[in-house]
Chain A
Amino acid sequence: MSIIVNLDVMMAKRKMSLNELSEKVDLTLSNLSILKTGKAKAIRFTTLEVICKVLNCQPGDILEYREIEK
């Protein structure tokens, strides 16, 4: 997919573990893992909002568009 999720980068900057983030955004570890590893097909705005709030960042810090050459 051309949308890259840089959640691990933001988590490292904020020194937050996956468990801690999972508790704060009220998402299961499984779902967060799906997002972190780029397997997610879609993200709800409500989820994006709470992640940005917890990590104190912008959506653009977590989501990046990169053209993938076929």
Chain B
Amino acid sequence: MSSKTDYIFKALNVVSWIIFVGVCIEAGGFIFNTFFTLLLNPVGAIRFWTEVNLSELYYYNQRDYITVTSLMIIVAVMRALMFYFIVKIFHEKKLNLSQPFNETVRRFILRIAYLGLGIGLFSFWGAKYSEGLVNKGVKIPDLQYLRLGGADVWLFMGITLLIIAQIFKKGIELQNENGLTV
């Protein structure tokens, strides 16, 4: 592998770790604050997360509060899982860049694709649900702050990766055939 590619890989590894730690903290924060608000002290809803004040939603209807926070948690956990897989692939011993078309990489692409689709679908659901609540006059933060924005982008990424995984499958077949060519 050329030194330039090596540097890019190392840089991507570092960036992935930073993002992974960030999304883990976020997911953990959402989970903790949800349970804290519901079980211990409702005042937790006021400062649920940075720029996220869910107090009005909490006092409007607890069921809606649980729904919105559950969707936020699901999306945050899926994002954390996605970056866990990304970080894991950098440390995968079976990752052989001299023969990149292998089942390990294909499985990785499929996992990221399905997670992307999942994040997109739950974000879309969250966005629609929030829209419904706003139409009822409940004041809730912007989707960006709820981390439920960009559903279309996640769906696009998921579908694109699914297509790439199919092409990769063909690449694996060709590589295996080439490996058995003397």
A interface list, Cβ under 8 A from B: 27, 31-32, 34-35, 39-44, 47
Instruction: Count A-B contacts at CB 8 Å.
Output: 22
Q: Please indicate the chain B residues that have their CB under 8 angstroms from the CB of A32 in the complex.
A: 182
Q: Please indicate the chain A residues that have their CB under 8 angstroms from the CB of B180 in the complex.
A: 34, 39-42
Q: Please indicate the chain B residues that have their CB under 8 angstroms from the CB of A44 in the complex.
A: 181-182
B interface list, Cβ under 8 A from A: 177, 180-182
Q: How far is the CB of B174 from chain A (nearest CB, A)?
A: 10
Bound-state Cα–Cα, A27 to B177, Å: 17
Q: Please indicate the chain B residues that have their CB under 8 angstroms from the CB of A42 in the complex.
A: 177, 180-182
Q: Please indicate the chain A residues that have their CB under 8 angstroms from the CB of B177 in the complex.
A: 41-42
Q: How far is the CB of A24 from chain B (nearest CB, A)?
A: 15
Residue from B177, B180, B181, B182 having most chain A Cβ neighbours under 10 A: B182
Q: How far is the CB of A10 from chain B (nearest CB, A)?
A: 15
Q: Please indicate the chain A residues that have their CB under 8 angstroms from the CB of B182 in the complex.
A: 27, 31-32, 34-35, 40, 42-44, 47
